[in-house]
Structure 1
Amino acid sequence: MKFTNKLSSALILFAIFIFCLPGLSAAGNTIYQYSIIDSLLAGNYDGELTIADLKEHGDTGLGTFNRLDGEMVFLDGVVYKVDARGEAIKMDDNERTPFAAAALFKTDKIIKLDSVKSLEELNSKISNALGSENIFYVIRIDGKFRKMRTRSVPAQEKPYPPLKEVVKNQSIFGFKEIEGTMIGIKSPSYVKGIGVPGFHWHFINKERTSGGHVLNCIFKNMAAKVGTYSQFKLQLPETRSFLDSRFEKDRQKELKEVEKDSEKK
């Protein structure tokens, strides 16, 4: 009996020790990001990070792929690419990304959304329901959308043009009465140059066959599941193009041009 008690105590202490290791205890509270948004805006479209590596940092996220080949939707542990035709493709672990963010999704808060008539309205309603503008959030919305407007871009060839030039030739997709999932990351305003300040949304349909970067949406009677994250982990590329780049230029105006919907309201 004494031996059994000692063994049980040892196992409990070992479990506590493992749980308290920094890498494990922080994982559920951390947003991981590879590279910086200003690097992508500048035309650095080749990275070293594999999809397998990205999956070590979470099960949910968004980003793009080498050569800027489509939009990334990382959902339920699976990474999809929405290509320039609007088709979603499950990606192999050996594919690489020049920019991506990931986290272990959790639900700390549920925000009921009775009516949303635009992406701007959605962002405003979620912002008003959150406790702080100074930490990170990962947001998931599942349901049937009355309208969904997305985009993707084609793979680029060297010498790579800056992102503001690429989106001039982006493909736009319009969907009606479509079921699917929006994944969003909301970042604080102080991440300028590093991440995307405010909201960044991607979408994939229920069948996981189409989607893209969200430009606009309309829906009723759904809910947003929100996870809060107070730790941010940034991994910088070691590619020659990144190391040789200069990032003094303020590219916030370019980012707004890239993110906005060109459709006339």
Structure 2
Amino acid sequence: MASEKITELEFLLSYDILKQLTGTMERTGCSAADIIEQALRQFLSARKDGNAVYLSAPINALVEGLYVENTTIAEVRQHGDFGLGTFNYLDGEMLLLDGRVYQIRSDGHVYDVGDDERSPFACVTFFSPDTLDDINGDSGVSDLATILDGLIPSPNMLYAIRVDGIFSSVRCRAASRSENYMPLVEATRDQSVFDFHEVRGSLAGFYTPAFMASLNAPGFHLHFLAEDRRRGGHLIDCTIKEARIGIQHVPRLDVGLPVTLDYLTVDLTRDIGEDLEKAEK
């Protein structure tokens, strides 16, 4: 039997990954090569079998005003290279695109985010579209919702959605930094609103079935980032000139439950539907 061919690879690791790798080597006695090979096999198998949407916490905790959790951006990125969310103290909108995390603050500026920053809520996946569709002609956000409704085969499935194109206009908002425990409907009452015209960029987000409303925002939830990576926010309205829509069908949902005193003691039995709709609109 012919011996298996071995290929040598050289690559750079971020400090946090290197620290985790070193710790695992010390704990298990395995070599770096063995651990990396095992991790790659697990990753490639997961990609082949279908990715999950990962929620760092159920959204009803955010609606009730829990804006401080211990989930780092490094942990979020372990679960996806695409998605959205927010940051501790509700400090702006999060957008994860092509593996890079952006923070869109209420001052209208976009900031790069370090792995040690923390988030009370993030929704991510590894994006690999199952379908790609091109649209042309001016389409408003209501038309976009209609188009997307026609592209998803069932309202009972999770979908990751990316729209890349040219927009005649985009209206976005960004949450302002808020004190912990202030209900979301109050914290989002006065938000910064931004209007962009004749802009090229990307929409990224998800469709979540209505029956998952206590876990994630139901319906379509999209954030915008301009191609120059200097403008963006939570999508309110837009008019699309031309764009390509990528949709990924995601058959599994993984939910993190924070182990913090605030989360363990908060009452999450209230129906948050009305408050969430007001905050999201």
Match of 2:154 among 129, 132, 136: 132
Partner of 1:117: 139
Alignment of 1:57-96 (within 5 A): 57-96=79-118
Partner of 1:193: 214
How far apart, in 2, do the equivalents of 1:24 and 1:48 lie? 28
Partner of 1:235: 256
Q: Secondary structure at the match of 1:250?
A: coil
Letter of the structure 1 residue corresponding to residue 94 of structure 2: M
Letter of the structure 2 residue corresponding to residue 123 of structure 1: A
Instruction: Give unmatched runs, 5+ long, in structure 1.
Output: 261-265
Contact 1:19 1:25 in 2 (8 A): no
Partner of 1:216: 237
Match of 1:249 among 270, 274, 281: 270
Say whether 1:151 aligns with 2:159.
no
1:99-136 Cα offsets, whole Å, 9 max, x none, are: 00111110210123234532222112111122122211
Say whether 1:8 aligns with 2:4.
yes
Say whether 1:26 aligns with 2:46.
yes
How far apart, in 1, do the equivalents of 2:209 and 2:146 lie? 14
How far apart, in 2, do the equivalents of 1:177 and 1:198 lie? 27
Residue 183 of structure 1 and its aligned partner are, at CA, apart by 0.2
Match of 1:165 among 167, 181, 186: 186
1:121-168 Cα offsets, whole Å, 9 max, x none, are: 21121111221222111111112110000001211124x311111111
How far apart, in 1, do the equivalents of 2:149 and 2:205 lie? 12
Contact 1:137 1:226 in 2 (8 A): yes
* TM-score, normalisation: structure 1: 0.88
How far apart, in 2, do the equivalents of 1:172 and 1:20 lie? 42
How far apart, in 1, do the equivalents of 2:248 and 2:149 lie? 13
How far apart, in 2, do the equivalents of 1:244 and 1:57 lie? 26
Partner of 1:41: 63
Query: What is the CA RMSD across the aligned residues, in angstroms?
Result: 2.2
Residue 19 of structure 1 and its aligned partner are, at CA, apart by 9.3
Partner of 1:263: none
Letter of the structure 2 residue corresponding to residue 167 of structure 1: T
Partner of 2:200: 179
Match of 2:228 among 179, 182, 207: 207
1:31-78 Cα offsets, whole Å, 9 max, x none, are: 111111111010000111100111111100100000000000101111
How far apart, in 1, do the equivalents of 2:168 and 2:231 lie? 16
Contact 1:58 1:103 in 2 (8 A): yes
Structure 1 consecutive aligned stretches of length 4 or more whose deviation exceeds 6 Å: 19-23
Letter of the structure 2 residue corresponding to residue 174 of structure 1: D
240-249 or 67-76: bigger deviation: 240-249
User: Aligned in 2, Cα 1:19/1:46: closer, same or farther, shift over 3 Å?
Assistant: closer
How far apart, in 1, do the equivalents of 2:274 and 2:213 lie? 11
Contact 1:111 1:126 in 2 (8 A): no
Contact 2:203 2:224 in 1 (8 A): yes
Letter of the structure 2 residue corresponding to residue 210 of structure 1: R
Q: Secondary structure at the match of 1:85?
A: coil
User: Aligned in 2, Cα 1:10/1:175: closer, same or farther, shift over 3 Å?
Assistant: closer
How far apart, in 2, do the equivalents of 1:125 and 1:79 lie? 28
> Matched residue pairs, number?
251
Identity across the alignment (%): 34
